[in-house]
Every structure is written in structure tokens, then in C-alpha cells.
Structure 1
Amino acid sequence: MGAIIVVDALWGDSGKGKVAAYLSRREAAPLCLRAGIGTNAGHSVYITEENSIRTRQLPLGFMNDGTAVGIGSGVAVDPRVFAAEVERYNLAERVKVDYRCPIITEEHIAREKASQHLSETVGSTKSGSGAAQADFVLRQAPQAKDIPELQPYLADIAQLANDTARRKQLIVECSQGTFLSLALSPDYPFVTSGNCTVAAAADDVGLSWRNISGAVMVVKAVPSRVGAGPLPGELGADEIQQRGIAEYGVVTGRLRRKAAEIPWDMLGYAAMLNGPTEIALTFCDHFDPAVTGARSRAELTAPVLELIAKVEEACDAPVTIVETGKLFEHMVDLREG
């Protein structure tokens, strides 16, 4: 079968977790893995208007009852956040952590909170993820194998990932976005602590390129960005509120900055870096409120269909998933006709 890697085209907050959860269900995937930096980015899915599932550490593939989840060795783990999510969603029998994962300590969090540069210049979430990754590079961070409370969950995720992908369908959920990549974004220092691309995600979980069957690049119809850094065509806070498209960060609670439209040159660059085989176009209800709640191709509005065509041309890949609202059920799978 192979692995499908889910990445964000721009600055994150595009609903990758929801897409990964949807793919886990659609593909009946036995395993969904988390790639990315650490607990500095949150993923959420609304089951009802008032009931949501939110995580910072675990991938959302567990929303499919038949899908186990795991954390790749390149991802920094906060044992407190991990334990809370495992308990909250009753996942003790369905979760694994690579024994080589770097550990986020209280000292890492304190170090980031004390950094004026991270707080005032970069706009960091101050989760300790970057500090943990820095210590990992310096070969002085503790690893998951050193933490007693993580012992029941330890595994070789690279082995598990490749074994699964050779036999069945594997989903890999990346965090943040391509243009927050440390070494690939033009916006340094307004970036995260590593790269956020298909290649980086594969590396985070130890996945061989031979076992990758596809890449879903998630494109947000009305792009957003949390924290500092350039945002082409940025809307003012008042206009965001007037349009009814306000969003707030899962980790920080901050109002997300929003752009008037997709930056097409950047989208093409993201497609070059990631080589998507398909596109998930999300937040289409923010682009055209008339499409809210659509469940089939026939219900998609003319503006959304036009946007789909433009995105496909820019990315040289088909749009196969269209999100039409905040609920998990608000997804149109164009592969189904």
C-alpha cells in the first residue's frame, strides 16, 4: 500500500489534523504517525458545534477506531502533554512513542519563556519544543527511553512505519507549514525549529522514500498565520471580524492573522518542494460562506469550483478533498464523484 504524508502548503493552521483523521478513516489505516517539531502546534477537529478534539502531541488519526497512533523519533515529546492526551482520549492501548524522541523538560519551557527574542520578535508559542530540539542537536537532551512513565509506550517507530507501509496504508500527519520551515522559508527568523515538508516528515518518522505512496498538501482557501513574520495581503483585525472568519490558535489562543487570498507564487513553490499527489482545499466556507456544509460535488459553489481550478493549475495536482465547514462531516471527497 504505502504511506500518505499530509503537509501544509503555507503557514499552518489549515486543518491538517482533520485531513489526516479523514484519511485514516477513508483508507482504513491501521496506523497514523505524528511528524513535526513537538508540542508547539495544535490540531483540532469539531465533532459538533460545541464538542471538539484537540491535541498538541498526538496525531488525530485515532478518531478512526481502527487506527493506532505514534510519535516519530524526530518529534520532541512533553511527557505531561502526552500523558494528558492519552488519558483524555483513552488511548493507552493504541499509542506508541519512539524511544529516541527528545524530551521537553520544564527547563526547556522556562528557557523559552525567558527569551525576549522568542516572545517579542519571533512570536514563539514557548512550548519548549525549540529548546529541546536545540539540546538534541547538542546531544544533551534526554530521550523517551530515559523517562520512566513513557516506558509502556516505547517502540521503534521507524520499523513500525516501514513495516506498516509495506503491507497496508500508513498516514503521516505533519505539523505547522512549509513556509515556517527553518531552512526553506525566506522569512527567517520568523520560522519554527525544523523543516515542515514531505521530506522532513518522512525523516521525522524514519520512513523510507520507497514506502511513500502519496502526499496530500493542504491548502487553506483563506491563508492565516500566527505570530510574527510577513503575510502577503494581510487583512486588518476589524475586517477579519466583520467577515466572520476569525480563528484562534489551538496552543496560544491568539487571533490568527488572515490574508485576502492565496499567494499563488508561494503556493507554486510549496508544490515544488513537496511534490503533492493530491490537494486538500480547506476553509472553503471562509472563502465563500454559501458553500458551508456542502457534502457533495454538486453542492459546491461556482466561486469554490473556480478556486479549485486555480489551485490545481498552481500545484499541478488534483484537488481531491474539499472542506466546507468546521465539523468533521463537512468534507467533500471528489474522488467519490
Structure 2
Amino acid sequence: MRGQLIYNPMAGRFPSQPLVERAARILNANGWEVDIVQTQGGPHITKLAKKAAAAGLDAIFVAGGDGSLHQAAVGLMGTDTALSVLPAGTANVWAQELGLPGLSWTNWTALETSVKKLLNGTIRTMDVGICQGIPFFLWGGVGFDAFIVHHLEPRTRWQKQFPVTQYAANVAWHARTFAGMDLQIWVDGEKISGTYILALVTNIHLYAGGMAELSPGARIDDGKMDLWLFAGDTMLETLQHLVDLASGNHLDSEKACLLTCQDIKIKSKTDLYLQLDGEPVSPARNISISIRPQSLRVMVPRELPRELFSKKLI
């Protein structure tokens, strides 16, 4: 098996090079031929992923967070090369979905543990969303969450030492000024209109750095995604939605609506903040989202903490 281990020395909360090298040694001792490649992040990761796929590599292992994985997924979609995560980022939500431990002050062996779980795992295929021509594999958000992302990123390594505290402080601060969006939305051709604080398409269960289980029924290989619409336009309504998300009460809220769909179009008279996989994307007034079923190969452990797949592993 041939692979490549990509890491960004400036990503995440900790210098990861020695830990990445230890993870690579485990891979090479277990039948893999893996080279370590350093990147500065962003589009360079996409370029490396495309090059790895063109070379016929079996997998790339990304030592980073959800942003780095997003860039790699863009390059790997539609290829036979699998995406694998070594959670060295800040939130590591995809790794949380897979039950892989993130690198932290109390767990310096997280990358080695993750490698061992993945070596005993398997390769599955998952759906990918396309928004404004850009692939995403976790979420695509319009409104308040994208507003926060645009004001939060980029962060210094020092700021990443306190991700929950910093995120909560930014949410509380910016909730004062954010107003709801008047949207026209077409969901698989059916029109919906209203004022919303957040319109969020999700492919997975977890959200907000893994602090909220947004969509317990989501399946990443069913050819569909979940669209959540959170109605409102005031600061109090924004804060109430955040409390409901943290507690799971959004599942029963009259102001939160869940729709399962394949094609979404959103229109507004003003520019809309947009995020894909937690990364800021240029604002737009007309947004289109579609699904590419089972177009990304991913390496996952055999035992998962949540039901992610609709198709059972044989």
C-alpha cells in the first residue's frame, strides 16, 4: 500500500512534526510505504492531493484539522485515493465522528492511536456536497455560523489554545449585531420563504466544534444531505437557538426545521456570509448546493461511535 502523510507545521495548537514522524513509522512498519510532505495549507493541500491521486496512491493521511481535510477532499473527490485523518487540528470534528482522539495537552500519542485504529479499519465511500462549484464533505452554512467564521479566521496558534472559550466569546459578541436573513429557498424544487438566522446543510451528525449533535439521523452515504433552517432575526432568537443546539432541544423547536434533500438554491437581496467545512467562502446572493453521491473514499475505523453509514459493512 502506498500513501502520503501531509502536515502543516503551523496548523493546530501544537508543533506536530515529531508526532507526525512517529505516526509515519507505524504506517511503514505495517505494510505501507509513506512519505511525509510538509505544506503551508490552503490550496497547496488540494494540489498535493490531486498529485497523489494522479500517482495512484492508495491514501493520503492528513495531520491537521477539518480545514486541512476540506482542502484534501477537494483534490480527492472522484478518485480512487482515500482520505484519512490524523487529528492534529483545533476542533477535529470529522475525527470525533470517527471516534479518533485529537491531539491535546493530555494526549500526545493521539496520532499514533489514530493510525493504529485506521490500520485495523476499512475504506468506505461518502457523499460530497458542491456549493458554488466547491466541494465540501461536512457542512455548508449560510448566515450566523459563516458570519462567525469570517470574523474568527485566521487564528494564531496562541488563540487556538482556548478554542471553546474563544469561540463562545466571539459568538456572544457578534450575536449583538447579526440580523436575520430574508431568504427564498428552493429545496428539490419546492419553494420556501422566510427570515432565518442560519441555513445549514450538513452531511454528518456533529456541529460547532463537536459541541452539538445537530443531525443524529444523518447518513454520509445515502445520496442526501440534511438542511436545517433556524428561523428568526433578533439577538435573543439567535442565543436561544445556540442554547437549543447545545442541549439538543433544537430537535423539538418550532423555529428549527429539518429537510432532507439533494438540491438547494438560496437567493437573497443582500450578500450572504458562507462557510464550507468551517472555512470562509466569498459572500454571494445566489447560492446553489447539490450532492455528488459516494464520490469520496475515506478510511474509517471498523467500530464507530455513531451510525454514519446507511449501508452496512459486510
Report TM bin, short chain. under 0.3
Flag the structure with higher helix content: 1
Give TM-score, length-normalised by structure 2: 0.27
Flag the structure with higher strand content: 2
Give TM-score, length-normalised by structure 1: 0.26
